[in-house]
A and B are shown apart, each in its own frame.
Chain A
């Protein structure tokens, strides 16, 4: 058990070293995440340039308004997350819990919109390659390719969010048990980095998936 006074693991000399180490570790982890998404982005870039018109046709089948709405929701959750870290830095336990809960809620809203208002619809409309594909317009195969990438990218992104919700539940419990303090809030800060990263991925996914070609 580590209470807030002796919050340094035995392999470290002091708290600064420990904090710097976990911060660096987290950023390196995010670097691997960049490369992980990067693999799919590479494929996306190639196909998007090869099959320009098909990808635009596919993009037009998505609802840009919902996409924009979801962007706002996710940015909002990023704000509440930043404020949660802020509250943790100041050692305000109650505020911290409030902000964690609001982040979780906003994340939940995002996932609800994603699954229920988008994926489910796309599935019913026959826009789910491999499962239910009825699109019969020109270049159906390459439009399907767009949707494959759409589902993979949003799917991996949503998986990250679900994992994030789980971690937040744990953090909330820890906060409730008073495990954090002005001196010890490392986990909150590290998780914040993760959550903001997931937000950034979406910031790129939104234009790349929803806004291809002019929508006039």
Chain B
């Protein structure tokens, strides 16, 4: 049976009203021009209809009017310029997560969403977030391209294999909202969806700490650090120490300097030979195929937890 049938999506994030304002502006422009053209066509079509088959075609036809041409070139130009800057402003804002945002990690795979919070709490096809707090998703895929789309928040971004993309939002209304995989990813594409639960910060806190395995992502990462033998090099000086690595510039042996962010650490684990730290031999084996994307995120969380204090080793 047909459900209640909405005509406009809920607004549940800080950017949603901004996007909707832009939407209504474009709609106003569109309605104006469509109406203008429809009315003119109807008016001309009736006023100048051919009254008899042998009606002589009009003479002295107006076929050029430069001021008119200029007008209807310049006015649309001004309008699209407004649309452009308006859209760009929101777009750029959407591309910059606030530094204090709560981090959540999202892994897409055919055809489910795997979500992990920094304290180690995991969920599948569901995302719990607090109201009024910016949340940043760090997303990656284990197979093909997916896309994480929350209509009520008016944001989406593709989720790519072998790469991190991000997306952020600040929910403004407690409730339950759809999220969809919005990039065609094969057979189960339309089943790859779930719910975002926006909770009051207190409820969220309660939810977050209920039924957790007891290990945060960083703790799990530390376990892996021992389990995969990272410690045999990185704890012994054969490889650079991790203390204070995160977020700091690293000098490479080819003279370049890179920032040790999530992507760099991920690459160091999966493709160690791509970038070699200056002063160290390229002996680190690749862990591609051994550690999952999830474990990479945990290792990264561990390295992050070691802080970005001044580095005492690593870059001679």
A residues near B (Cβ < 8 Å) are 53, 138-139, 141-142
A121 to B241, CA, bound (A): 44
Chain B residue contacts of A142, Cβ below 8 A: 274
Is B254 positioned at the interface, with any CB of A under 8 Å from its CB?
yes
Contact B282 A138 (CB under 8 A): yes
Q: Which of B254, B271, B274 has the most CB of A within 10 A?
A: B274
A138 to B281, CA, bound (A): 12
A139 to B274, CA, bound (A): 6
Contact A53 B254 (CB under 8 A): yes
Is B165 positioned at the interface, with any CB of A under 8 Å from its CB?
no
Chain B residue contacts of A138, Cβ below 8 A: 273, 282
A53 to B273, CA, bound (A): 11
Instruction: Looking at the assembled complex, report how far the CB atom of B240 sits from the nearest CB atom of chain A, in whole angstroms.
Output: 18
A138 to B282, CA, bound (A): 9
A88 to B282, CA, bound (A): 62
Chain B residue contacts of A139, Cβ below 8 A: 271, 273-274
4 closest A-B pairs by beta carbon, nearest first, are A138-B273, A139-B273, A139-B274, A138-B282
Chain B residue contacts of A141, Cβ below 8 A: 271
Main secondary structure of the interface of A (DSSP, over half): helix
Instruction: Looking at the assembled complex, report how far the CB atom of B273 sits from the nearest CB atom of chain A, in whole angstroms.
Output: 4
Count of residues in B whose CB is under 8 Å from the partner chain: 5
The total number of A-B Cβ pairs within 8 Å is: 8
A142 to B271, CA, bound (A): 10
Task: Give the residue name and chain of the B residue nearest to A142 (CB).
Answer: B274
Task: Give the residue name and chain of the B residue nearest to A52 (CB).
Answer: B254
Chain A residue contacts of B274, Cβ below 8 A: 139, 142
Instruction: Looking at the assembled complex, report how far the CB atom of A104 sits from the nearest CB atom of chain B, in whole angstroms.
Output: 46
Contact string, B227-264, partner A, CB cutoff 8 A, digits 1/0? 00000000000000000000000000010000000000
Task: Give the residue name and chain of the A residue nearest to B288 (CB).
Answer: A141
List 7 A–B pairs whose Cβ atoms lie within 8 Å, in order of A's numbering: A53-B254, A138-B273, A138-B282, A139-B271, A139-B273, A139-B274, A141-B271
Task: Give the residue name and chain of the A residue nearest to B276 (CB).
Answer: A138
Given contacts A138-B273, A139-B274, 6 further A-B contacts (CB under 8 A): A53-B254, A138-B282, A139-B271, A139-B273, A141-B271, A142-B274
Instruction: Looking at the assembled complex, report how far the CB atom of A48 sits from the nearest CB atom of chain B, in whole angstroms.
Output: 15
A211 to B182, CA, bound (A): 44
Task: Give the residue name and chain of the A residue nearest to B282 (CB).
Answer: A138
Chain A residue contacts of B273, Cβ below 8 A: 138-139
A139 to B272, CA, bound (A): 9
Chain A residue contacts of B271, Cβ below 8 A: 139, 141
Instruction: Looking at the assembled complex, report how far the CB atom of A212 sits from the nearest CB atom of chain B, in whole angstroms.
Output: 15
Task: Give the residue name and chain of the B residue nearest to A50 (CB).
Answer: B274
A142 to B267, CA, bound (A): 14
Task: Give the residue name and chain of the B residue nearest to A53 (CB).
Answer: B254
A53 to B282, CA, bound (A): 14
User: From residue 270 to 294 of chain B, which have CB atoms closer than 8 A to chain A?
Assistant: 271, 273-274, 282
A53 to B254, CA, bound (A): 10
A141 to B289, CA, bound (A): 14
Task: Give the residue name and chain of the B residue nearest to A139 (CB).
Answer: B273
Task: Give the residue name and chain of the A residue nearest to B254 (CB).
Answer: A53
A142 to B270, CA, bound (A): 13
A141 to B254, CA, bound (A): 19
A138 to B274, CA, bound (A): 8
Task: Give the residue name and chain of the B residue nearest to A141 (CB).
Answer: B271
Instruction: Looking at the assembled complex, report how far the CB atom of A132 sits from the nearest CB atom of chain B, in whole angstroms.
Output: 21
Chain B residue contacts of A53, Cβ below 8 A: 254
A142 to B254, CA, bound (A): 17
Instruction: Looking at the assembled complex, report how far the CB atom of B255 sits from the nearest CB atom of chain A, in whole angstroms.
Output: 12
Instruction: Looking at the assembled complex, report how far the CB atom of A78 sits from the nearest CB atom of chain B, in whole angstroms.
Output: 39
Instruction: Looking at the assembled complex, report how far the CB atom of B184 sits from the nearest CB atom of chain A, in whole angstroms.
Output: 23
A115 to B274, CA, bound (A): 32
A145 to B8, CA, bound (A): 48
Instruction: Looking at the assembled complex, report how far the CB atom of A154 sits from the nearest CB atom of chain B, in whole angstroms.
Output: 26
A153 to B274, CA, bound (A): 25
Instruction: Looking at the assembled complex, report how far the CB atom of B277 sits from the nearest CB atom of chain A, in whole angstroms.
Output: 14
Instruction: Looking at the assembled complex, report how far the CB atom of A141 sits from the nearest CB atom of chain B, in whole angstroms.
Output: 8
Instruction: Looking at the assembled complex, report how far the CB atom of A214 sits from the nearest CB atom of chain B, in whole angstroms.
Output: 14
A139 to B275, CA, bound (A): 10
A141 to B274, CA, bound (A): 10
A142 to B162, CA, bound (A): 14
A194 to B105, CA, bound (A): 55
Instruction: Looking at the assembled complex, report how far the CB atom of B264 sits from the nearest CB atom of chain A, in whole angstroms.
Output: 15
Chain A residue contacts of B254, Cβ below 8 A: 53
Instruction: Looking at the assembled complex, report how far the CB atom of B289 sits from the nearest CB atom of chain A, in whole angstroms.
Output: 12
A141 to B271, CA, bound (A): 10
